Amino acid sequence: MNYHSLLAAGLLLFSTTTTALEKTGPERINEVLQRSQEVLPYSLDKTRQMFTKTVHGGVQHVVAKSPDDTRQIKLIQANLRKRADEMRKGDFSDTERIHGADMPGLVQLKLAKIDDIKFEYEELPDGAQIHYSTEYPQFVQALHEWFDGQISDHGNELLPGHKLHHATPAE
């Protein structure tokens, strides 16, 4: 690829990401919050969510604010298990309903074939997590953009002990 083509591709990627991130503001956040409450079975007020990028993708944690809230924990676990299963099949419809079709990284993620990206669900005592990983650089970038979109729309709460759990970004 020559220098001008590479430069044009970089500018296109930057302008697309910048446009998507520019949409974040109080109005966008309220829209996403409303759509999230329609799609997600658990209460956003009673849970925390964190997205951590890794070298091969990232990890999404959703946990109950109260470790004794077994109802929220069960709802989180059922939802993340379902979402991991759907994404394994290329179905990102919940994400699209919440964030819109123009969410950063989403178009590229939908191009992945089965097994190009791993979506590993794991139950946690207070919720659940999905570990997203791939060996394909284009999908790592798409996952990172998708994580940035999630963080931009939902925020990214720090979870106690989380940094120790992911001490190295190589996971």
Cα separations in angstroms, 150 against 25, 145, 155: 13, 9, 7
> 81-126 pLDDT, tens per residue?
999 999 999 999 998 988 889 999 999 999 999 999 999 999 999 9
The whole-number pLDDT of residue 33 equals 72
Confidence of residue 19 (pLDDT cuts 50, 70, 90): very low
CB 38 within 8 A of CB 122: no
Which residues, 6+ apart, have CB-to-CB distance to 147 below 8 Å? Answer: 51, 53, 58, 60, 105
> 142-158 pLDDT, tens per residue?
999 999 988 887 776 66
- What is the residue-averaged pLDDT of the chain? 81
Retrieve residue 152's tokens.
């931009």
Q: CA angle 129-130-134, nearest 5°?
A: 150
